[in-house]
Amino acid sequence: MNIVRRNFSEEFRRLTLLNRRRIFSKCSMVIQFFSVLFLSSQLVATNGSIYSRFGVGDIATFISSRSAAMGGTGIALLTDGYINRANPAALGRISRTQYSADFQYQGFAMNDGTASSFLSSGNFQGAMLAFPLYSEYNIAFAFGITPFSHSAYDVRDEKIQAGQNIIQTFDGVGGLSSAQFGFSFSPRQDLFLGVTTQYLFGKFNDRQRLKFVDNIEYFVSDVERVVSMDGFAFTFGGVYAGIDKALGFSALKNLNVAASVFSGASLNSKEEKIQNYVSSQETTGVRSGAAKIPLGVAFGAAYLLQEKLILTSDLQIQNWDAYKYFGAHPREIRNSTRFGVGAELLPTLIPGESYYRQMTYRVGAYVNSSYLKVNGQGINEYFATGGVGLPIFLSPNSEARLNVSLEYGIRGTTTNGLQKDSIARLTVSLSGSDTWFIPQEIE
């Protein structure tokens, strides 16, 4: 009997030590995750298009690498093992702790009809962590940081006026980030609701320089504008799973429909202008006010076909006519509409099948009537997308995937003195799930 007790005691100590090591390992992962968040408190680009100088920059439509490969769709994607940033209601199917982190490379080939150039950048696209809390009501929450917009441009214009060789340069960098906390619950079967609280913050730095090349007696003009913004916004979402069965169209729950509403935000804004001369620097003005980001709505559908293929479509509309900066509406800003479609194929869910059959294949396309209207011309985008999901670790209690997406499209036109951008984006995301902090059972 003493031998049995001693063996049980030793086994208990061994398992306790093992669980401590597992918990310490998971805690280390959480600490590393938060380190990424805090080190990336400002998500901005280094190079980009001249169009990003207007409004609050290029609006980030990125949801995830999975969504990016499917034409940027995903409002109605209600699946386990996926953090849906676009619709907090879709967090309800998460059954295990889920994490994701994204990195994106962008290349811009720009042409104004007379000259062309190429710029590129690589940027962190955010990180998210999500937990299930109470499975009976599908209660889950997620938090992290993602980009909301970015601005990055560098333009040089050289011309001769009144016999003077003049060089003008315009450059800027900045953007808004979104620190967010999302929550979901299910008040009744097949109905999922959620809300995300977003803290938007960031800074824009724009600079305009005028230089007389041949006459050093003329002053060099250098005007810098620095704008800081911050404020809160909310996204409310809902998903109904299997509406086709609820309406009697199908015996199975194949069709999900969803909607989300972005509340808009009134961002506290501070603008400072600095005039730099050859021999001195002078602050010419500081003012405080607000930048009002308008209301936006989105609608989506997702259809599951034969347990292998998911078809998706999204429509997003935002009332940018209501946008105001320090009480004025910029003439370059108009309402925006974005429509996308996508598909995802996973050949098998059976472990042990060939690696290629466990890969996920994605394709999509979208058209975006952006919120910009420059020189009276609407700036539109047309993109084709695709990608794969590569399993790098699969087990009954945890899994990890490397998702890769590629987007290619055009924006703008060379008419009316404008610029045409050919844009390529490559996104690599690491996502995974695990049963964290659950001790092993003693057999």
**Single-letter amino acid code for the residue at 132:** P
**Contacts from 221-225 at CB under 8 Å and sequence distance 24+?**
221/275, 221/277, 222/275, 222/276, 222/277, 223/273, 223/274, 223/275, 223/276, 224/273, 224/274, 224/276, 225/271, 225/272, 225/273, 225/274
Tokens describing residue 427:
């996104």
Whether 169 and 57 map to the same domain: the answer is yes
Whether 247 and 339 map to the same domain: the answer is yes
> What proportion of the chain, given as a percentage, has pLDDT over 90?
52
> Quick check: is 441 in a domain?
no
Whether 28 and 81 map to the same domain: the answer is no
Whether 29 and 45 map to the same domain: the answer is no
> Quick check: is 373 in a domain?
yes
**Quick check: 396 pLDDT over 80?**
no
Whether 164 and 130 map to the same domain: the answer is yes
Whether 31 and 100 map to the same domain: the answer is no
Please tell me the predicted confidence (pLDDT) of residue 367: 97
First to last CA, the chain: 18
Query: Are 266 and 233 contacting, i.e. CB atoms less than 8 angstroms apart?
Result: no
Question: Could you tell me the pLDDT band of residue 265, with boundaries at 50, 70 and 90?
Answer: very high
Q: What average pLDDT does this structure show over 16-39?
A: 41
Cα dihedral across residues 135, 138, 144, 147: positive or negative: positive
- Full DSSP string of 56-115: TSEE-----HHHHHTTT--TT---TT---SS-GGGGGG--SEEEEEEEEEEEEEEE-SS-
Question: Could you tell me the pLDDT band of residue 270, with boundaries at 50, 70 and 90?
Answer: very high
Output 239 or 353, whichever has higher pLDDT: 239
Please tell me the predicted confidence (pLDDT) of residue 294: 97
Number of domains in the chain: 2
Q: What digits encode the pLDDT tens for the residues 88-121? A: 999 999 988 999 999 999 888 888 878 788 888 8
Whether 27 and 139 map to the same domain: the answer is no
For 3-56, give the secondary structure using H, E and C: HHHHHHHHHHHHHHHHHHHHHHHHHHHHHHHHHHHHHCCCCCCCCCCHHHHCCC
DSSP 8-state class, residue 246: H
Whether 9 and 81 map to the same domain: the answer is no
DSSP 8-state class, residue 328: B
Residue 266's domain spans which residues? 40-434
**Quick check: 15 pLDDT over 60?**
no
Exposed, middle or buried, 167 (CB in 10 Å: 0-12/13-18/19+)?
middle
What CATH number corresponds to the domain at position 115? Answer: 2.40.160.60
Assign 397 to helix, strand or coil: coil
Whether 17 and 113 map to the same domain: the answer is no
> Quick check: is 439 in a domain?
no
Please tell me the predicted confidence (pLDDT) of residue 166: 77
Assign 429 to helix, strand or coil: strand
> Quick check: is 442 in a domain?
no
Computed over every residue of the chain, the mean pLDDT equals: 83
Question: CA 414, 415, 419: angle at the middle one, nearest 5?
Answer: 30
Q: What average pLDDT does this structure show over 19-45?
A: 40
> Quick check: is 181 in a domain?
yes
Q: What average pLDDT does this structure show over 317-328?
A: 96
Whether 386 and 404 map to the same domain: the answer is yes
> Quick check: is 231 in a domain?
yes
Q: What average pLDDT does this structure show over 133-149?
A: 92
Q: What average pLDDT does this structure show over 358-382?
A: 94
Whether 53 and 30 map to the same domain: the answer is no
> Quick check: is 443 in a domain?
no
Please tell me the predicted confidence (pLDDT) of residue 386: 97
> Quick check: is 123 in a domain?
yes
Whether 154 and 281 map to the same domain: the answer is yes
Question: Could you tell me the pLDDT band of residue 279, with boundaries at 50, 70 and 90?
Answer: low
